[in-house]
Amino acid sequence: MSFRLSRIVFGAIVLAAGFGIGPNAHAASDTLAKITQRGTLRVGLEGTYPPFNYQDEKGELVGFEVDFANAIAKKLGVKTEFLPTKWDGILAALDAERFDVVINQVTVSSERRQKYDFSQPYTISGIQIITRRGNDPKISSPGDLTGKKVGVVLGTNYEQWLKANSPKTDIRTYDDDSTRNQDLLAGRIDAVLNDRLIVANLVKQYNGEIVASGEPFAKQEQSIAFRKGDLVLRVAVDKAIDELRGDGSLAKISEKWFGFDVTK
């Protein structure tokens, strides 16, 4: 893209101009211009969240969101630069312009919409209760969480859901998934709340000692996060996602990592 804009990028600029992006137009246009000039889309992710994004046995970054980000970048005519960052600082790093977007299973919420812009959803999920195998007493529904020690990663929508919907739960917060999971196995907490889509990987990772309990609840949509006002970039990315849906690439990536289509 050194001498020309890709069709998607050019179309996004034209479409965004039609929205009349006003006083934020310069800043919003600059992000996409910088990406095309740099030749890379800088992506913030944890790099420790299988099967979405993690390091394989060779130390290479792989996962559903890695393939997804690469596919979007290809549509934009650039390459990807992945910048692993802890979850509790990932959105702050987006604010600080350390990267252009966050692609890390970010659940869209009204609170987050006040501060960030989001793409169209690329996965549809729900909250899953996760326990030790043979948990006793049985914890299999939101009502069973009352009075229990429940582990969540700090700053996630799972922590927010508990605070809003289960105020008598003993919420235990963690900086990362692995420490939380070890506390579950050791009996220091009774259950975990997380994305239903990671359960199959957890069962495999912990040899069946960690299992899903009950049915998922509280439907969630996950999207790419942008800085507020980055309309030109957001439109370009949404057009790329539309094309990936249309040509079957998005479903193919999903089936590779999950065995079924989690994108609709």
For position 30, what pLDDT does the model report?
86
State the pLDDT confidence band at 123, using cuts at 50, 70 and 90.
Answer: very high
Mean pLDDT for the stretch of residues 231-242: 97
Q: Are strands 79-84 and 149-153 parallel, antiparallel or unpaired?
A: unpaired
Between CA 160 and CA 180 the distance in angstroms is 17
Q: Which one has a higher pLDDT value, 118 or 10?
A: 118
Instruction: Summarize pLDDT for 58-83 with one digit per residue, the tens.
Output: 999 999 999 999 999 999 999 999 99
Return d(Cα 80, Cα 74) in angstroms, integer: 8
Band (pLDDT 50/70/90 cuts) for residue 6 is low
Where is pLDDT greater, at 13 or 81?
Answer: 81
Query: What was the pLDDT predicted at 136?
Result: 72
Residues of CATH 3.40.190.10 domain(s) within the chain?
Answer: 7-123+222-258, 124-219
Q: One-letter amino acid identity for 73? A: A
Average pLDDT over residues 118-129: 97
pLDDT digits (tens, 9 = 90+) for 165-204: 999 999 999 999 999 999 999 999 999 999 999 998 999 9
Question: From the CA atom positions of the chain, what is the Rg in Å?
Answer: 19
Among residues 32, 177, 206, 29, which one has the least CA distance to residue 105? 177
Q: Where are the alpha helices (DSSP H) in the chain?
A: 7-19, 25-38, 64-76, 87-95, 110-113, 157-165, 177-186, 199-205, 231-246, 249-258
Torsion sign, CA atoms 194, 190, 144, 162 = negative
pLDDT at residue 3 in the model: 43
Asked if pLDDT for residue 49 goes beyond 90, the answer is yes
**Share of residues in the chain with pLDDT > 90 (%):** 86
Average pLDDT over residues 259-264: 92
Instruction: Report the chain's mean pLDDT, rounded to a whole number.
Output: 91
Using 50, 70 and 90 to split pLDDT, how confident is the model at 4?
Answer: very low
Average pLDDT over residues 6-31: 54
The architecture (CATH level 2) of 7-123+222-258 comes to 3-Layer(aba) Sandwich (3.40)
Contacts of 20 (CB under 8 A, 6+ apart): none
- Model pLDDT, residue 10: 54
Whether pLDDT at 18 is above 60: no
Q: Identify the bridge partners of residue 225 per DSSP, sorted by sequence position.
A: 102, 118
Mean pLDDT value of segment 83-104: 97
Q: What pLDDT is stored for residue 61 in this prediction?
A: 98
Residue 5: is its pLDDT beyond 70? Answer: no
124-219 maps to CATH 3.40.50.1100: no
pLDDT score recorded for residue 196 = 94
Q: How far apart are CA 55 and CA 50, in angstroms?
A: 8
The structure's pTM equals 0.84
pLDDT reading at 17 higher than 70: no
